[in-house]
């Protein structure tokens, strides 16, 4: 089932999400629906609040980036096999010198901007079988996780932008909030 993507301005995007209690939700079905929704919108990550689920769950698939590589050299080894569901995630540590990369968001279509993030993270989470993992990720894999993790904390990538950049985007963000967007995926504006 493909969920509509919740657009910028909705309160669900600004609230810290609640943990999922084991057995309370069908996390396997939710994860499957989230992957289906993410693929339909050509995304590489999607968090619960982006589909109006106020829970600490997000999905990522970095293989999408590698699949678009034109040469072997363009394949990112950190993204090989990087397709996961994170439930009740907690970032334990972020290390290294922050590096910029232009990010976008399915809930904020048409806007992209450089965001500085630390290159290495350690995160504890559950998978859809409720197996607990503590893993470290680096580079683009770490960045994708950090972006989606921010969503379950009520943070958007635009929060990292300089005041002048935010001011320059104010009109465009206002249009998104009103549903004035041109996207090829289903969105909902609350």
- Give catalytic residue positions: 148
Cβ–Cβ < 8 Å for 78, 42: no
3-state secondary structure at position 12: helix
Annotated binding residue 151? yes
Task: Give residue 85's Cα distance to chain centre.
Answer: 11
Question: Rounded to whole angstroms, how far apart are CA atoms 30 and 181?
Answer: 26
Annotated binding residue 147? yes
Put residue 66 in one of left, alpha, beta given phi > 0 → left and psi -120 to 50 → alpha: alpha
Cβ–Cβ < 8 Å for 116, 147: no
**Burial of 51 by CB count in 10 Å (0-12 exposed, 13-18 middle, 19+ buried)?**
buried
Question: Rounded to whole angstroms, how far apart are CA atoms 188 and 186?
Answer: 7
Question: Rounded to whole angstroms, how far apart are CA atoms 167 and 69?
Answer: 35
Cβ–Cβ < 8 Å for 38, 12: no
Annotated binding residue 133? no
Residues annotated within the binding site for Fe cation are: 105, 147, 151
Residues annotated within the binding site are: 105, 147, 151
């Amino acid at each position: 089932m493909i969920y509509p993507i919740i657009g910028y301005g909705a309160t669900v995007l600004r609230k810290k999400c609640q943990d999922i209690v084991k057995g309370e939700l069908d996390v396997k079905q939710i994860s499957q629906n989230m992957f289906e929704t993410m693929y339909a919108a050509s995304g590489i990550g999607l968090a619960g609040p982006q589909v109006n689920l106020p829970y600490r769950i997000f999905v990522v698939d970095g293989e999408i980036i590698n699949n678009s590589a034109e040469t072997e050299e363009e394949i990112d080894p950190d993204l090989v096999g990087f397709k996961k569901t994170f439930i009740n995630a907690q970032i334990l540590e972020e290390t290294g010198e922050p590096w910029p990369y232009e990010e976008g968001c399915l809930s904020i279509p048409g806007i992209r901007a450089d965001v500085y993030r630390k290159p290495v993270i350690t995160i504890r989470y559950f998978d859809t079988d409720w197996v607990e993992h503590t893993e470290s990720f680096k580079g683009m894999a770490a960045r994708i996780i950090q972006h989606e993790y921010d969503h379950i904390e009520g943070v958007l990538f635009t929060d990292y932008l300089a005041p002048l950049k935010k001011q320059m985007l104010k009109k465009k963000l206002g249009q998104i909030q009103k549903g004035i967007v041109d996207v090829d995926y289903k969105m909902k504006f609350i």
